[in-house]
Structure 1
Amino acid sequence: MPNSLQTPEPLQDGDLLAAIDLGSNSFHMVIARYLLGQLRVVDRLRETVRMADGLDGKGGISADAQQRALDCLARFGQRIRDLPNVRVRALATNTVRKLRQPRAFLDPAEAALGHAIEVVSGREEARLIYLGVAHAQPPKPGQRRLVIDIGGGSTEFIIGSGFEPIERESLQAGCIASTRRFFPDGKLSRKRWRDALNTIGAEFQSISSRYRALGWDEAVGSSGTHKAISEICQKMKLSKGAITATALPQLRDALLQAKHVDEIDLPGLSADRRPIIAGGVLVLEAAFNALALEKLNVSKAAMREGILYDLLGRHGDNDLRDASLAALSLRYGIDTEQAARVEDTALALFEQVADDWQLEADDAQMLRWAARLHEIGLVISHNGYHSHGAYLLEHSDIAGFSRQEQQMLAALVRSHRRNVGKSAFDALPDRLLPTARRLTALLRIAVLLHRSHEADPIPRLWLHCHDNVLQLQLDAAYLEARPLLQADLQGEIQASASLGFTLQPELT
């Protein structure tokens, strides 16, 4: 399968983009056409998959739940079979985050879809949700908006202004997870509800003070749970579309007239939503209580629309990842002049071998980022700073990045000096391993050449690859004047072998 990290060409009128959201309850796909700088939705697909129902609490997933997911992705894949990989982005959320061995699911899932699937953190999921809602319903200038999204396994809370989130959190309470957690046998009672409400309310207290102090002018709910609750409220004549603090308790009382989840009979409630509506109402009531909400409007947009607009930004000049890494560089006091020298040399080497190694522009972007941040770990300690830097990059919340992208970046930084560990690339899917090793080889050479932090350019630098042999030609006079560099190059011959290459330094 083609590399998933491709940096796309600028969009042309008529181009199609596809966003796939692998939620814990439903899988969604939205296809939009790019016209005159705008996106126009041309197709939507949704299937109830309930992956979260298959979680066993130990990081495993049932064969039935996995098969439902694979069957759905195969159908989605048929619809986007002819779309280039650079115009498709598929993101997995809470359920896949919980898997002990996510690749055991992702590998067959990618084969079924025909495109790469990335996993996003809860906070990145929250950012994309806000982006989708903000584009569908642009907020008023200067006003803050609270967005709540109740998914199958988690609930995201975001406060934003305009198109930018200010606060974003993801808490482990969703409609499927809460139904399973508090009503495992399906039995409903007021005591169970009160106990569950107190438990979730206590968990929501972790954000309530901060969010209420920040404040908002409007509250909006996205996701199928809010749409379903809104529909029920309208059918019961409790509200005219919004969910209110007076309507919600009446809906809950009507729900609790049933003694079992299977017996819930509310007007406007669909059959596929019935098994999980109790958990959804429970989480929403806890949110209303924790944040003292009076009214929640409902948006038709959600994360899938956010993925589309984020993808649009990646095709243009508004790639959030660049800004995020620039902020990291500033925060950790990186020597930007040294980083620029390493970046320039790494990209010069990249250009000389890109055709032979079939490297793409996206790979150049990843190499560029790794060069800019390779010394980020120095903020912790010089000793082992490459390992510290890799930890920071893999485990920080970096807006715009998927887990896979952060893992790739971390692997390059971890391996840019010293020995390349046997487990350095274990987090990456097999299809990215050749690229990771090649980019690592280029970054190592660039860092090595600039170890002395000299500002003077390197004369006549040339790299050629043939059958995994890397011939590196350097100016003889330049090298002879630098005995440390000579020693480093000899050491790099052994290190390159662990990446699968034979380095052959030559003098010109």
Structure 2
Amino acid sequence: MDALARAGTLTSPLRDGDMLAAIDLGSNSFHMVVASYTLGQLRIVDRLRETVRLAEGLDGKGGLSADVRQRALTCLARFGQRIREIPPHRVRALATNTVRLLASPQSFLVPAETALGHGIEVISGREEARLIYLGVAHAQRPRPGSLRLVIDIGGGSTECIIGRGFQAVERESLQVGCIATTRRFFGNGRLSRRKWSEAVIEVGAEFQQFANTYRALGWNEAIGASGTNKAIGEICAAMKLTKGAVTAEALPQVRERLLRAGHIDDIDLPGLSADRRSIIAGGIVVLEAAFAAFGLVRMAVSKAAMREGVLYDMLGRGGEHDPREASILALTQRYGIDVAQAARVETTAIRLFEQVAPAWRLDHDDLLMLAWAARLHEVGLAIAHSQYQVHGAYVIEHSDIAGFSRQEQQFLAALVRTHRRRIHKSAFDALPDRLLDAARRSAALLRIAALLHRARDADEIPRLELEADGMRLTLRLERRWLEMRPLLRADLESEPTAIAALGIQFEIAVD
């Protein structure tokens, strides 16, 4: 960690007046929040929201219709104009359920990133849940020691979280949302009691998978987040059933008023905006199922959601409380990683990084990924020694790791997968083009560091100089030190052939 702290000078901490932006590519709406970092706090200076209905464009094969795709790109281009003066490392754009369901996400993400002018990360449902809870917790400060249940009904998924303070304790994500549920049960537009009952039972079965666990843990208050819950709360208030909360008494009355319409086009709920009329039925079904599964009596409604959570998460990433650090530590403990060996490899990898970062244009984010990959490079040993780099890569890519996007996990997995043995051509296939150069170069640094410590020797390397000239690397070592390690010398002699698969020419010089 000392070496990592020294290398932290490669980036600049947040300064007073810095601008940050969070973009949420939801299944129903795209949101952007722009904030100023002022006196150690975030001050919202702008909000943009557009109803894109990305989930409406999904077909049964994981494709996205041309008209919805264009609608999304047009929206992102407008967002991009607003934040074109904000540095890329102060912007986070996150895609959620609909993009997770695409058969070929890159076919959408590449033009989407071009339109926005910034990279877009895809996050898992549980990571989405963590960020939602973080946003709600900062908007409505929790009471010390109390537990709260947060439910967020999106267009394509619903997230349920129990948290304490600012930390999520339990996180779940279900494939039910207002758009998806409306299309599934009321696709022809007709509203009937029979179909409604069927919908509530089927959606309720999804909640039952974890409802008992949640109820056993308990909570002191329930809060709904995002547009669907806010819309239902506004309907309850307009019908004079509550002052904005949703209750077990009010919800059936809202449902009865909706069912009397008979058809989605004829829904006339007071307080309901026109752009939500076509999807509100599915949202009410999901919330009614949640009330039944959790035995809820009352649910307050929060104005905050994932986008605010992303902003506060960026504060942590830019300071001493990066949530990813805790996740890496948890993985090292869970899989019994040899922390002494991992630290040796990490320290050497960082030493190498510091020497080539300017020439290779590697930044602080690349440094973090290299350091974390070094800590986790032996995680696969918990499964088997043979091909442990393959096992380790699988664990990293397919685990729910709090704080990490899918691309970040794929980046880490690629480094772990290629840190030893032959480098397969497909090792970097999952990564977007914008990350390929950094990934391949970081992989080379991790390979060299792991190789230098293959003997698990605690002795310091007396001379360690690495020079980058284009795609050529030259490693300089002390001759006497190397001659005392014939196995290492033999490994180094064969490494140029292996590392060439990364598109890098590797040379060793001794003197």
After TM superposition, the score normalised by the length of structure 2 is 0.97
The CA deviation at 1:503 is 1.4
Q: Which residue of 2 aligns with 1:381?
A: 384
1:365 paired with 2:357, answer: no
Q: 1:17-68 CA distances to partner (integer Å, 9 max, x unpaired)?
A: 1111100000000111111111111100000000000000211110111111
Q: Which residue of 1 aligns with 2:318?
A: 315
The CA deviation at 1:243 is 0.4
Letter in 1 for 2:368: Q
CA distance in structure 1 between the aligned counterparts of 2:23 and 2:184, rounded to whole angstroms: 28
**SS of alignment partner, residue 423 of structure 1:** helix
Letter in 1 for 2:464: L
Q: Which residue of 1 aligns with 2:3?
A: none
- After TM superposition, the structure 1 = structure 2 runs for residues 17-32 of structure 1, keeping only pairs within 5 Å, are 17-32=20-35
Identity of paired residues, percent? 68
Q: 1:76-102 CA distances to partner (integer Å, 9 max, x unpaired)?
A: 000000000111111000000000100
C-alpha contact (below 8 Å) 2:246/2:298 kept by paired residues: yes
**SS of alignment partner, residue 495 of structure 1:** helix
C-alpha contact (below 8 Å) 1:8/1:314 kept by paired residues: no
Q: 1:409-466 CA distances to partner (integer Å, 9 max, x unpaired)?
A: 0000000000110100001011111111111111101101100000111121111122
C-alpha contact (below 8 Å) 1:10/1:315 kept by paired residues: yes
- After TM superposition, the structure 1 = structure 2 runs for residues 67-466 of structure 1, keeping only pairs within 5 Å, are 67-466=70-469
The CA deviation at 1:479 is 1.4
Q: 1:224-245 CA distances to partner (integer Å, 9 max, x unpaired)?
A: 0011111111111111111000
The CA deviation at 1:507 is 1.2
In structure 2, the gaps of 5 or more residues are 1-8
CA distance in structure 1 between the aligned counterparts of 2:409 and 2:92, rounded to whole angstroms: 16
CA distance in structure 1 between the aligned counterparts of 2:287 and 2:345, rounded to whole angstroms: 51
C-alpha contact (below 8 Å) 1:390/1:410 kept by paired residues: yes
CA distance in structure 2 between the aligned counterparts of 1:107 and 1:32, rounded to whole angstroms: 26
CA distance in structure 1 between the aligned counterparts of 2:379 and 2:352, rounded to whole angstroms: 22
CA distance in structure 2 between the aligned counterparts of 1:180 and 1:244, rounded to whole angstroms: 26
Which runs of at least 4 in structure 1 moved beyond 3 Å after TM superposition? none
C-alpha contact (below 8 Å) 1:7/1:362 kept by paired residues: no
C-alpha contact (below 8 Å) 2:360/2:470 kept by paired residues: no
CA distance in structure 2 between the aligned counterparts of 1:14 and 1:469, rounded to whole angstroms: 41
Q: Which residue of 1 aligns with 2:500?
A: 497
Q: 1:172-196 CA distances to partner (integer Å, 9 max, x unpaired)?
A: 1100000000111111100000111
1:58 paired with 2:61, answer: yes
Letter in 2 for 1:269: L
CA distance in structure 2 between the aligned counterparts of 1:377 and 1:28, rounded to whole angstroms: 39
**SS of alignment partner, residue 140 of structure 1:** coil
CA distance in structure 2 between the aligned counterparts of 1:128 and 1:230, rounded to whole angstroms: 22
**SS of alignment partner, residue 427 of structure 1:** coil
C-alpha contact (below 8 Å) 2:156/2:178 kept by paired residues: yes
**SS of alignment partner, residue 448 of structure 1:** helix
In structure 1, the gaps of 5 or more residues are 1-5
The CA deviation at 1:7 is 8.0
CA distance in structure 1 between the aligned counterparts of 2:200 and 2:228, rounded to whole angstroms: 17
**SS of alignment partner, residue 226 of structure 1:** helix
Q: Which residue of 1 aligns with 2:6?
A: none
CA distance in structure 2 between the aligned counterparts of 1:25 and 1:507, rounded to whole angstroms: 60
**SS of alignment partner, residue 275 of structure 1:** coil
Q: Which residue of 1 aligns with 2:4?
A: none
**SS of alignment partner, residue 100 of structure 1:** coil
C-alpha contact (below 8 Å) 1:17/1:87 kept by paired residues: yes
Letter in 2 for 1:267: P
* Correspondent of 2:491 among 464, 474, 488: 488
CA distance in structure 1 between the aligned counterparts of 2:489 and 2:194, rounded to whole angstroms: 75
**SS of alignment partner, residue 278 of structure 2:** helix
**SS of alignment partner, residue 83 of structure 1:** coil
CA distance in structure 2 between the aligned counterparts of 1:465 and 1:292, rounded to whole angstroms: 62
CA distance in structure 2 between the aligned counterparts of 1:339 and 1:161, rounded to whole angstroms: 32
**SS of alignment partner, residue 334 of structure 1:** coil
Instruction: Point out the more displaced range, 493-502 or 166-175.
Output: 493-502
